[in-house]
């Protein structure tokens, strides 16, 4: 019989088979995953780390693929915290409230609620970052079971140790798979941060360098003052606006976000104290405040904080030559208006002269147009026996130029209106 039939097995070849291609692919994947970090200003990342330092539950809202999970992974690595990820939508309510386990004598010992394995691992480690992902796809029953975990840090019969921080992530209902709105009780337990992408950060990160997440550096000397400042800010606003103490939104979507309640105001007070002690920028504080009590109340509180930062008009009048005026134009304008109001309340030649000196300093160190209105108001306060200070001459040019510009703008507006 011929041995070269088409059904005969092929003769063994001496060419080796490359069985190490998967190992080479693994090396390539490792190179692709290799990335560095660098210190880089990132308000939303700083807001996240500040809330984590304050031991407040944080909820990151963002579209799919925006980088929420990657940010949490990098945060856990930077803080040297073991990361435990729990996909809320694939769990049952009993996975968070605990499974009943019948003991020897239920009538005497009761029926304990056994916690899941991930909670046991966190307790044994004593520290960690618990990441509750896909929160907006969790059913209402699961959301109800999460209430005690988020607020009291209890899972079944276990209490999570103080070293565990809780961060969650969710997609807006329109972009979530079978999404649900968050229940108001659960939503009011979180600091809500809108997670967006920065084009430059993404490009540089894909090139191998991502921003570094670090805990804020709290100044020990500022701690008592930070607490006092936060309490005065929140209590001052709520004393003037009692309707803001508790205001449940009427819309279902708004109820699933940040809104004011005694609980969320307490969280806000805590965040203001931490941000003040850390010297955080205003945009970081804005993200945190609006993410805790909502945009409307948050903006009112930020405006109240600005007013608290204004210098004392009496201190400015006492030393106008070395006065430290705010850099921001709106705050500088408010400070100058406060000085004029102080002179109006207690008119005196020396105070009137000091106010003019202060206006000259404001013109030389900032936008000249900011002194026009205060100068006009201050001039109207002059009493007949008061001599005009020489410093007024230095302001005359700025005031005159500003008025000419205003008149020209008015003429242009009238001309445009006539041609319509």
Pairing of strands 163-170, 127-133: parallel
Question: Tokens 């005009």 map to which residue?
Answer: 388
pLDDT at 55: 93
Instruction: Give the alpha-carbon dihedral of 67, 69, 73, 78, to 10 degrees.
Output: 50
Residue numbers of the chain with a pLDDT score lower than 70: 1-19, 102-111, 174-178, 396-420
Domain residues of the chain, as ranges?
37-99+113-211, 220-308, 313-419
Q: In what order do the strands lie in the sheet with 127-133?
A: 83-87, 127-133, 163-170, 58-61, 191-194
The predicted-structure confidence for 12-41, as pLDDT tens digits, reads as follows 555 444 558 888 888 899 898 888 888 888
What are the strands, taking DSSP E only, across 141-274? 154-155, 158-159, 163-170, 191-194, 209-211
Pairing of strands 158-159, 83-87: unpaired
Give the chain's radius of gyration (CA, Å): 31
Alpha-carbon gap, residue 95 to 116, rounded angstroms: 6
pLDDT at 408: 41
Q: Decide: helix, strand or coil at residue 374.
A: helix
Alpha-carbon gap, residue 389 to 306, rounded angstroms: 32
Contact 51, 191 (CB under 8 A): yes
Say which residues have a Cβ less than 8 Å from residue 362's Cβ, sequence separation at least 6: 325, 332, 336, 370, 371
Alpha-carbon gap, residue 60 to 131, rounded angstroms: 11
pLDDT at 18: 55
For domain 37-99+113-211, say whether CATH 3.40.640.10 is its number: no
Long-range pairs for 280-285: beta carbons < 8 A, 24 or more residues apart = 280/46, 280/50, 280/216, 281/43, 281/46, 283/43, 284/43, 284/46, 284/47, 284/50
Structure tokens at 265: 């105001």
Question: Tokens 């850099």 map to which residue?
Answer: 327
pLDDT at 404: 44
The predicted-structure confidence for 381-399, as pLDDT tens digits, reads as follows 888 888 877 777 777 665 5
Alpha-carbon gap, residue 194 to 207, rounded angstroms: 25
Question: Tokens 């709290």 map to which residue?
Answer: 218
Q: Pick from 373, 381, 295, 311: which is nearest to 346 by CA? A: 381
CB-count burial class (<10 Å; 0-12, 13-18, 19+) for 19: exposed
Q: What is the pTM of this model?
A: 0.75
pLDDT at 273: 96
Q: Which helix (H) or strand (E) holds 36?
A: strand 36-38
Phi first, then psi: what are they for 42, rounded to 5°? -150, 100
Question: Tokens 């404001």 map to which residue?
Answer: 362
């Amino acid at each position: 019989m011929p041995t070269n039939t088409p059904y005969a097995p092929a003769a063994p070849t001496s060419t080796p088979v490359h069985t190490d291609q998967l190992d080479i692919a693994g090396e390539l994947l490792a190179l692709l995953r290799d990335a560095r970090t660098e210190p880089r200003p990132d308000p939303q990342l700083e807001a996240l780390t500040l809330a984590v330092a304050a031991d407040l539950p944080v909820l990151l809202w963002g579209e799919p693929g925006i980088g929420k999970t990657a940010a949490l992974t990098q945060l856990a690595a930077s803080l040297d915290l073991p990361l435990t990820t729990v996909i809320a939508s694939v769990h049952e309510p009993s996975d968070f409230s605990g499974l009943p386990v019948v003991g020897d004598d239920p009538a005497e010992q009761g029926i304990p609620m056994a916690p899941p394995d991930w909670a046991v691992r966190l307790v044994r480690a004593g520290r960690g970052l618990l990441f509750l992902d896909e929160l907006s796809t969790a059913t209402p029953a699961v959301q109800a079971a999460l209430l005690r975990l988020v607020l009291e840090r209890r899972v079944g019969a276990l209490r999570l140790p103080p070293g565990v921080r809780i961060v969650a992530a969710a997609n807006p209902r329109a972009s979530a798979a079978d999404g649900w709105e968050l229940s108001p009780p659960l939503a009011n337990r979180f600091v809500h941060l809108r997670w967006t992408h920065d084009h430059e950060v993404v490009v540089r990160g894909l090139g191998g360098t991502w921003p570094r997440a670090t805990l804020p550096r709290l100044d020990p000397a500022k701690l008592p003052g930070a607490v006092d400042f936060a309490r005065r800010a929140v209590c001052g606003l709520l004393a003037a606006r009692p309707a803001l103490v508790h205001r449940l939104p009427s819309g279902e979507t708004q109820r699933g976000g940040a809104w004011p309640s005694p609980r969320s105001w307490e969280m806000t007070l805590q965040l203001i104290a931490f941000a003040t002690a850390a010297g955080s920028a205003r945009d970081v504080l804005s993200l945190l405040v609006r993410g805790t009590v909502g945009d409307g109340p948050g903006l009112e509180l930020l405006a109240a904080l600005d007013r608290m930062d204004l210098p004392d008009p009496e201190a400015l009048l006492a030393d106008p030559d070395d006065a430290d005026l705010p850099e921001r134009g709106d705050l500088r304008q408010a400070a100058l208006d406060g000085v004029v109001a102080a002179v109006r309340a207690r008119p005196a030649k020396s105070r009137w002269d000091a106010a003019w000196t202060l206006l000259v300093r404001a013109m030389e160190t900032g936008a000249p147009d900011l002194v026009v209105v205060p100068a006009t108001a201050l001039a109207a306060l002059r009493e007949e026996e008061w001599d005009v200070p020489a410093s007024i001459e230095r302001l005359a040019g700025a005031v005159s130029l500003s008025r000419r510009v205003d008149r020209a703008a008015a003429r242009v507006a009238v001309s445009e209106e006539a041609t319509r």
